[in-house]
Amino acid sequence: MMPIEFKLNGQTVIGRPDEKIIETAKKHGVEIPHLCHGGNQRSDGNCRACVVEIKGERALAPSCCRFPTQGMEVTTNSPRALTSQKMVLELLLSDLPDEEYTLNNKLRSWAKKLEVGKPRFKRREEPKADLSHPAIAVNLDACIQCTRCVRACREVQVNDVIGYAGRGP
């Protein structure tokens, strides 16, 4: 595979054609916020925390789903990209319960790194926990809709026992 040369925050970097922008950035010491990317799962790009600006493109792009191309110019820290990243984190934070369930909450960690304060938005009402099945308890009060749990069941465990409902209009 031929290496790809592109600009990342004004610096020329070398990436691989099978490597996403977020992965090349990490190899070159550039951290991009991310929530749905990681582990041994494919990235869906649905959390939108990792959006970057690509020269010549109107819309911000999720860096966990985009592969670099020769000569591409990517900016991870432009005012537009940072504003969007922070807004995504703030909106997701507004739906988290006040009490922490885990020691290593990625959302809270990224919000702290990007200096996202207390959310201005009202928390959504989530359905009560579903404890009707003896093997699975579903409590969505800390769900940020990243679909990692759905993909883990479907693609890693090859057990399609959970799904996603109620997204969108």
Identify the top-confidence range among 18-27, 41-50, 88-97.
18-27
> How far is Cα 55 from Cα 161, in angstroms, rounded to an integer?
41
- pLDDT tens for residues 85-131? 999 999 988 887 776 666 778 888 899 999 998 889 887 777 777 78
* Listed residue (10, 23, 33) closest to 67, CA to CA: 23
**Rounded mean pLDDT of the chain?**
86
Those residues whose C-beta lies under 8 Å from the C-beta of residue 138, and which sit 6 or more positions away, are 129, 130, 131, 162
- pLDDT tens for residues 124-139? 777 777 788 887 777 7
With bands split at pLDDT 50, 70 and 90, how would you rate the model's confidence at 167? low
pLDDT at position 157 is 73
pLDDT higher than threshold 90 for residue 36: no
Domains and CATH numbers, the chain: 1-125 (3.10.20.740)
With bands split at pLDDT 50, 70 and 90, how would you rate the model's confidence at 39? low
With bands split at pLDDT 50, 70 and 90, how would you rate the model's confidence at 162? confident
With bands split at pLDDT 50, 70 and 90, how would you rate the model's confidence at 159? confident
> How far is Cα 52 from Cα 26, in angstroms, rounded to an integer?
14
- pLDDT tens for residues 63-80? 999 999 999 999 999 999
Give the residue with greater pLDDT, 132 vs 43. 132
pLDDT at position 119 is 87
pTM assigned to the model: 0.80
> How far is Cα 148 from Cα 128, in angstroms, rounded to an integer?
21
